[in-house]
């Protein structure tokens, strides 16, 4: 019996939920995969870097599978959902976590290609995965979506224009999905991480100095650097029955940054 066959058989015999997590190969997504597995969920660790996704799944064991996905491409997203349903038969929790930073450049200095890439991944990607998963949640009358937005989703001075626009858009997607399906058993909430120790921070070498200088007054208000596990814990709560009446919430997980 192959590992996939063992997973499929065990999922048939279990009431545990299935959590599909994008960007699960590193950072917050990897912590989410581990956190959901820790409470008994079966996990689909999806990432554009299959090697990282496989490492994340291997850390969990037979309760997880790894799938490569490019969330900016509809065909890749549809394949991800088909494979998930083929193995587990359902998706109970969707964590739209995959995303990229911009260069922190000021609006007039932001290259069009940076704008296109960041919006395509962060915003359109979140829509594409949601668009592919929601029909299956509707068919079974339940489901939870947790989107990873950002402090930049509620501020204008925490990132460059592309990232800021994309995360404001994720907040909008969250509220729209929550309202649209509130009577259909589907909840949708978002977490807003502040600075967190993730692999995305490696892109800091590409930051635009003039943009960073202008953003510094807001960035300097931050009081802490979070661990990915702190974000994952809130995602698990929002997906749990304890949050059964929480829908459309935009939850800062920033150590008080947004309170300043």
Which entry of 36, 88, 163, 181 is annotated as an active-site residue? 163
From residue 3, how far is each of 12, 40, 57 by CA, in Å? Answer: 14, 18, 12
Asked if residue 163 lies in contact with residue 192, where contact means CB atoms within 8 angstroms, the answer is no
Two structure tokens written together for 15? 């009431």
User: What's the first-to-final CA gap in the chain, in angstroms?
Assistant: 56
50/61 Cα distance (integer angstroms): 16
E-strand ranges in the chain read 18-22, 42-47, 64-68, 93-96, 143-148, 186-193, 250-253
Asked if 181 is an active-site residue, the reply is: no
Q: Are 190 and 148 in contact (CB under 8 A)?
A: yes
Which one-letter DSSP state was computed for residue 39? T
Neighbours of 151 (CB within 10 A): 24
HSE-CB of 139 using CA atoms within 13 angstroms? 10
What phi, psi does 246 have (nearest 5°)? Answer: -100, 115
Task: Give the count of alpha carbons within 13 A of 33, CB side only.
Answer: 34
Among all residues, which ones are annotated catalytic?
Answer: 163
């Amino acid at each position: 019996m192959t590992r996939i066959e063992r997973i499929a058989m065990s999922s048939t015999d279990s009431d545990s939920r299935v959590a599909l997590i994008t960007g699960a190969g590193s950072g917050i997504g990897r912590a989410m995969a581990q956190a959901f597995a820790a409470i008994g969920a079966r996990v689909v660790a999806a990432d554009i870097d299959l090697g990282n996704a496989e490492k994340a799944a291997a850390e969990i064991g037979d309760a997880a599978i790894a799938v490569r996905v490019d969330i900016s491409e509809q065909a890749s997203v549809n394949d991800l959902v088909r494979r998930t349903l083929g193995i587990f038969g359902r998706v109970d929790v969707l964590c739209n976590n995959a995303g990229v930073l911009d260069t922190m450049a000021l609006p007039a200095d932001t290259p069009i290609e940076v704008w296109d890439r960041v919006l395509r991944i962060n915003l359109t990607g979140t829509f594409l995965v949601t668009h592919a998963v929601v029909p299956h949640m509707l068919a079974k009358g339940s489901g939870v979506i947790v989107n990873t937005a950002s402090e930049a989703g509620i501020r204008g001075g925490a990132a460059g224009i592309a990232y800021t626009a994309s995360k404001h858009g994720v907040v909008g997607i969250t509220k729209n999905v929550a309202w649209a399906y509130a009577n259909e058993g589907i909840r949708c909430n978002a977490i807003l991480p502040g600075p967190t120790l993730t692999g995305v921070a490696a892109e800091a070498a590409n930051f635009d100095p003039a943009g960073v200088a202008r953003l510094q007054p807001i960035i300097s208000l931050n009081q802490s650097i979070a661990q990915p596990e702190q974000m994952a814990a809130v995602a698990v709560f929002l997906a749990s029955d304890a949050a059964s009446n929480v829908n459309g919430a935009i939850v800062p997980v920033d150590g008080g940054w947004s309170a300043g």
